[in-house]
Amino acid sequence: MQPEDTLQQNNTQVSIIIPTYNESQNIIQILKSIKENLPKNFITQAIVVDDNSPDGTGRIVDDYLKNFKKVADYTIEVIHRKAKDGLGSAILKGIQQAKGDMIVVMDSDFSHPPQIIPKLIESIKKYQCDIVIASRYIKGGKIQGWSAKRKLMSKFATLIAKKGLGIDTKDPMSGFFAFKRNIIKELNIDAIGYKILLEILVKTKGVRIKEIPYTFQNRKLGNSKLGIKTILDYYRSVWKLYRYGKPQEIQEKRSSVKFLSKAARFYTVGASGFAVNYLVSLLFAGVVSDMWYLHANIIGIIASVTTNFILNKAWTFGDRDFRIKKTVSQYGKFAMFSSLGALVQLGMVYFLVDGAELAYPLALILGVMTAAFGNFILNKKYTFKEKITE
């Protein structure tokens, strides 16, 4: 090896990211074991990312660090997050704080044997690659201590990832891997759920990947945090990754879908307005005052137009800009279209019942639907200034 080469390697830093949630029984042991298995000739930084574990994991690490005998070229840090925000985002947080040019990600429950860490790092050099994955699903890899059900779930999830996302890595769901930090520099990582490696694999194109076998050991102490939410998050993230990099029409929701979903919201708001109208009209004509019923009904109408306006603005059309001038002018248009809608409805019901001899209940439904649809289009275009087909 050339002397410059050695020098370069000595300056290279490795950061090991260790997420924890309720790992009080494992964390100190794993930190000790990592210390025994540091990659040689590197400056290493271990970063524990704890999500305010109720069992005091974060505090235990703080106490341990008070008496931690410094070893040359090795430091440990803890990031204390306020709440359990998920494994992926914990790892991302650690990566953001990492100083290393190379990053290792691993669990804290001894499922990922620290003896593999030096191999992961050496393999990056040896195979000249960007990501090295400790793999359960290549020759020589194993899983110990998982039920048949959990194995099947893992296999199934892996299959979905490989087929759905066109990945040919054998273990894209591994939580144990190392990579060169610069490959994710430009990426926007969502870190939904557990599988941050999968996201990195989808979003980095053309990087060199190597898998090395290891035996995954189910934890002996503490509990797995994998629950139904994690599993749902997984499928949500696969769906999101599936859309990633696809043409714009697939990435963005199709405009027809948007149009229909907004129309559905507009109708829902309309139905809620009916309830507001009815209740307020009753209240003012009896409970809170004994107003003349027509006056009470006017208040009911104004109340429902107002709640409809606010809900449609904020929810249906996602316009959260409530500056007075703009909002008042929008409200004016909205109220005007509502009155117009009422007239259209009256006219239509009259025409259908008297002219076309339709039954009144049916005429009413058609009248309400038409008026609401007209209102939707007019408000979309003129009140909230959207293209009709967007």
User: Which residues are at the interface with ligand GDD (CB under 6 A)?
Assistant: 19-21, 23, 49-51, 84, 86-87, 90, 107-109, 111, 154, 173-175, 194, 219, 224-226
Q: How far is the CB of 111 from ligand GDD (least distance, A)?
A: 5
Q: Determine the number of helices (DSSP H) and then strands (DSSP E) in the chain.
A: 13, 9
Cβ neighbourhood burial of 89 (10 Å; 0-12, 13-18, 19+): buried
Q: How far is CA 9 from CA 213, 239, 287, 318, in A?
A: 25, 40, 81, 52
What residue 51 binds from Mn ion, ligand GDD, none (CB within 5 to 8 A, per partner kind)?
Answer: ligand GDD
261 interacts with, out of ligand GDD, Mn ion, none, CB within 5 to 8 A per kind: none
Q: Measured from the CB of residue 247, what is the shortest distance to ligand GDD in angstroms?
A: 30
CA distance 280 to 304: 8
Compare residues 21 and 317 and give the one whose CB is closer to Mn ion: 21
Is there a contact between 16 and 121 (Cβ–Cβ < 8 Å)?
Answer: no
Nearer to Mn ion, 170 or 219 (CB): 219
Interface region with Mn ion, contact rule CB under 5 A, candidates 6-14, 26-34, 103-111, 191-199: 103-111
Tell me: does residue 211 bind Mn ion (CB under 5 A): no
Name which of ligand GDD, Mn ion, none residue 90 binds, using a CB cut-off of 5 to 8 Å depending on partner kind: ligand GDD
Which residue, 107 or 199, has its beta carbon nearer to ligand GDD? 107
Whole-number Å distance between alpha carbons of 384 and 381 = 6
**150 or 258: CB nearest Mn ion:** 150
Q: Environment class of residue 146 by beta-carbon count within 10 Å: exposed (0-12), middle (13-18) or buried (19+)?
A: middle
We find the least distance from the C-beta atom of residue 95 to ligand GDD, in angstroms, to be 13
User: Nearest approach, Cβ of 386 to ligand GDD (angstroms)?
Assistant: 39
Complex with Mn ion: residue 53 or 111, whichever CB lies closer: 111
Q: Does 174 bind Mn ion (CB under 5 A)?
A: no
Choose, by CB under 5 A, the member of 45, 111, 277, 297 that binds Mn ion.
111
Q: Give the single-character DSSP code of 22.
A: S
Shortest separation between residue 194's beta carbon and ligand GDD, angstroms: 5
Given Mn ion, ligand GDD, none, residue 84, with its beta carbon under 5 to 8 Å by kind, binds ligand GDD
Rank residues 149 and 320 by Cβ distance to Mn ion and give the closer one.
149
DSSP, res 319: -
Task: Using the structure block, give the residue that is written with the tokens 């005052």.
Answer: 289
Q: Is 23 among the residues that bind Mn ion (CB under 5 A)?
A: no
Kindly report the length of the chain.
390
Least Å distance, CB 134 to ligand GDD, is 10
- Written as six digits, the tokens of 264 are 């559905």
Residue 154 or 169 having the CB closest to ligand GDD: 154
The closest alpha carbon to 250, from 242, 238, 260, belongs to: 242
- Residue 230 or 370: the one with the smaller Cβ distance to ligand GDD is 230
Contact between 137 and 55 (Cβ < 8 Å): no
- Residue 110 · residue 29 · CB < 8 Å: yes
d(CA 59, CA 80): 9
Q: Residues 295, 303: contact at Cβ < 8 Å?
A: no
> Which two three-digit tokens encode residue 26?
């494992």
Q: Which is nearer to ligand GDD, 109 or 130 (CB)?
A: 109
109 binds Mn ion, rule: CB under 5 A: yes
Shortest distance in whole angstroms from residue 238 CB to ligand GDD:
13
Q: How many CA atoms lie within 13 A of 286 on its CB side?
A: 6
Closest CB 183 distance from Mn ion, rounded Å: 26
User: Could you say which DSSP state residue 55 is in?
Assistant: T
Q: Return the half-sphere exposure (C-beta side, CA atoms, 13 A cut-off) of residue 280.
A: 19
Contacting residues toward Mn ion, per CB under 5 A: 109, 111, 219
